[in-house]
Amino acid sequence: MQHDEVIWQVIRHNHCSFMAKIETGIFCRNPYNVTGTCNRSSCPLANSRYATIREHEGVFYLYMKTIERAHMPKKLWERVKLPRNYEKALEIIDKHLIYWPKLLVHKTKQRLTKMTQMRIRMRKLALKTREKIMTVPTKEKKREARREEKAEKAAQLDNVIEKELVERLEQGLYGDLYPIQKYKELLSKEAEMNEMEEEEEYATEYVEGYEELEEEEDMEDFGGRAMINEDADMDDDDDEEDDEETVYIDRKRDRKSSARKLEKEEPNSKSKKKVRVHVEVEHEDAPERQRAVL
């Protein structure tokens, strides 16, 4: 038979594997503890009737323990899934813990509030982009440094060997096996080619941007001159024809002008004839009209 007071006296005064004593206080590492502190009301081992909230893969569950299941450790805790909505979760807690101690119900709701706030902060931090700090072991650093030193030494050794071989060739130690003159000629050619490539790369050139337009203008000028010559020849011929036409036209004009002069002179000749005008004058006193001829 389970006796809560005996269990608490043993745990508190003798030994408890979940107890953590710190300068600020005594805490409990048991995952089912509601408050996280080690005391009589919040100890999950010394209370046969107990309720708490736990998180599993981002989902909150309400855990409840009763004295009726104390003899079945496999079914000791009853688990109820809580919705993500905070108000609905509080309603479910009130529904399942309606006849439980008010202090325990209040602590359970406080734990739900703290856990929801923690989940909100976790989501905000996950959305923020932060720098990830990576640790590099000292062994790898030393190994890379040794490899760099060996590579530098090998490069220097290759340059020294190349210089010694060139000096021996110049001294003629190898005789006719390796012709030094051809080797020098090849080196000089390679150097000249490299210099030419460098000059070509960095040399600036100035190019005409309107070559096609100038060619078209030259062709137009050449064609224009030919057209001018042809036009000049045509103009000479036209001038001769125009002279003949002007003579013919002048004759016609003379005839027309003479005809117009005659027409003008005829009405003048007619107008020279005297015209008689009859004028009648009436007087109030005179009984008869008087006529005068001008």
Q: Average of pLDDT values for 177-199?
A: 74
What is the pLDDT confidence band of residue 104, given thresholds at 50, 70 and 90?
very high
**Tokens coding 77:** 């805790």
| Average pLDDT along the chain | 76
Cα separation values, 271 from 68, 110, 276, Å: 158, 138, 12
Of 113-117, 152-156, 201-205, the range with the highest mean pLDDT is 113-117
Q: Average of pLDDT values for 259-279?
A: 54
What is the pLDDT confidence band of residue 202, given thresholds at 50, 70 and 90?
very low
Of the listed ranges 108-112, 162-166, 265-269, the one predicted with least confidence: 265-269
Q: State pLDDT tens for residues 47-67.
A: 899 999 999 988 999 999 998
Q: Average of pLDDT values for 83-95?
A: 92
Q: Average of pLDDT values for 138-151?
A: 90
Position 256 scores a pLDDT of: 58
Cα separation values, 276 from 36, 190, 272, 293, 294, Å: 153, 129, 13, 7, 6
Q: What DSSP line would sit under 206-238, residue for residue?
A: ---S-HHHHHHHHHHHHHHHHHHHHHHHHHHHH
What is the pLDDT confidence band of residue 168, given thresholds at 50, 70 and 90?
confident
Contact residues for 289 (Cβ-Cβ < 8 A; gap 6+): 280, 281, 282
Position 62 scores a pLDDT of: 93
Strand partners, 293: 278
Answer whether residue 200 shows pLDDT above 80.
Answer: no
Q: How many CB atoms lie within 10 A of CB 108?
A: 24
Position 96 scores a pLDDT of: 92
Distance in angstroms (rounded) separating the CA atoms of residues 37 and 21: 10
Of 19-23, 166-170, 240-244, the range with the highest mean pLDDT is 19-23
Position 198 scores a pLDDT of: 64
Position 253 scores a pLDDT of: 59
What is the pLDDT confidence band of residue 83, given thresholds at 50, 70 and 90?
very high
Q: What DSSP line would sit under the chain, residue for residue?
A: ---HHHHHHHHHHT--TTEEE-SS-EEE--TT-SSSB-SSTT-SSS-SSEEEEEEETTEEEEEEE-GGGTT-GGG-EEEEEPPSSHHHHHHHHHHHTTTS-HHHHHHHHHHHHHHHHHHHHHHHHHHS--PPP----HHHHHHHHHHHHHHHHHHHHHHHHHHHHHHHHHHTSSTTSS-HHHHHHHHHHHHHHHHHHHHHHH------S-HHHHHHHHHHHHHHHHHHHHHHHHHHHHHHHHHHHHHHHHHHHHHHHHHHHHHHHHHHHHHHS----EEEE--SS-SS-EEEE-
Q: Average of pLDDT values for 250-256?
A: 58
Answer whether residue 250 shows pLDDT above 80.
Answer: no
Q: Provide the residue count of the chain.
A: 294
What is the pLDDT confidence band of residue 94, given thresholds at 50, 70 and 90?
very high
Position 233 scores a pLDDT of: 58
Strand partners, 37: 27
What is the pLDDT confidence band of residue 270, given thresholds at 50, 70 and 90?
very low
Strand partners, 50: 65
